[in-house]
Structure 1
């Protein structure tokens, strides 16, 4: 069976660095930190008092006030990012076969704010179950995909992917596979997350997963730095329009890049800690390269998972050195989480966009906030510290890993006829 080629024809982003793709990309290449003190709730009694919040976002720019009240913030973010991606793609769904256009959307936690509000309200009451009738449909993770399909009248495959922080990369891989197998012409795919609330910050604090560098939020996310002390929570959404190449050409769409491979693996090691030797991370990159029919020589840039946790950064760089060998030292590697924080289930989507824009513009966004080398990380690796670097990027590989040992990698390359 001849597999179809799949291209990226639209992008949308709502991030702590900006509420559109140009704003987001500008923040990345200029090394801007999205971290600041939390404004969404009173953090007085919390260990971590800062995060990478979305700023100046008004859901009523994308839906009416009544509709906005019926959806959780993670759905509001999804609709906003999707709007930009659809407009960017130039797709007119009235002229296309919407039976063959689907939505696959990822989230790691989903409607946490809705869950928190409803359970808190019940706990304060007399035990009578006075729940909002929108409680369940606001909370469930698949509802973002449902809302997107309803908004645009898309009747193709429609579902959600849930694999913690790997969720939106899984969504992208699934959409890629459906198209290249000829089961759909186009997908809206990506992910969103909204966990900056009392439950999200308190829960990750209880795990000792978050940085507590309250005296310097903007420097708290410091992947690969010796003094890193945990990740910084982020929120937002990323949306991609993936399309069969012939379908895209027929409608005259612009093409950002081609998606050529996706890999998935499991650590089978621990519910939250990565494999110490990076075996799962190595396997997933091998799987993506094999899927793409590429070798380690073909990759110029890796957008790493790079969360700024003590164990994770060592595990991932170890896997890169073990797999790429001498080619590891020819690569550029960077963690854009140093600027955006960790968007959990939306991380794969926003970092896929960063990887695509790097391929398009031949610019590697930096890993900011590097102050002290970690002797446990190979000093010969080019981790693109503190400043962007210009270079030809033929292909970029993007890693996202999740609690539970879920690993995903996707590969984007320059589009050529």
Structure 2
């Protein structure tokens, strides 16, 4: 059970006057997986299998956070979220050693018109497609970076979210993503900026979402020049009672650099597809099957140039057993072809850390883990 600290003050200059009610909630997840991965590169050359306690988490990234609201009256609220990620294996802060690297924002909400939030936040495309991820954006081996981009968390971001019956509309603007580049440089408004728009419809068993995202990364050593990474996606889901949910989606992608700066950015044009099913076999046991496939039309990087490289694909399996409402154990498996686990490849500069050894074009991953939510 989440622990809530609720305070209501009655400080007044005259009888009957009182401050509005406010609340702060402490919450978190502690997730410890033990992982096996095949075909990892070995020091001195060749390949080897890897056994480790993974620091990033399995089904969830380990975190703790504070979430607060204050009732301002008239259907208005002030709100904030501060969320810190950490490695369960050593307790170190993650997301670039940030204190609140997962989320850090403040905002205002109106019950009728929606909310505005300011700070480090998830992008619109991340929010819109969350309902259509088979594994719920599981931390381990989920192709989130390939699907959504390295900027799926963005600094210096203003975001609007409005819910109108079954429809949720959203849009964001990032003034400069300091996590990935310089950001907010004087006289360079476009540098490391980004924006997105999206909407979802969730009613009864049916869900539909559509989103667009653009990120303009700095090109190192290019005198303030920027590239352009665009992504557009559509997804749908359908639930058969409370036991089965199926989902599928498509994401169009393109990364470009200015003429003469092709080597400063991994450029590509791809079509990314995914599908999955969630099956609640019993009250305690949930099963998930997910499949991802990326059709590269072209790719050009600083290291190599290739037209129609081998297309990466991955299948994921998850069995999750709830010991209680807050504690579960799970087994995960994945097989990736023509890429590392999580569809790690040159287009994202192997950002997930699963680079196949030289001469290897596939990887197998197996993990068992224990997760506790508070």
Whether these two folds match at TM > 0.5 is no
Which structure ranks higher in relative contact order (CA pairs < 8 Å, sequence separation ≥ 6)? 1
More strand by share: 2
TM-score normalized with structure 2 length: 0.29
TM-score normalized with structure 1 length: 0.27
Computing the radius of gyration from Cα coordinates, the structure with the larger value is: 2
More helix by share: 1
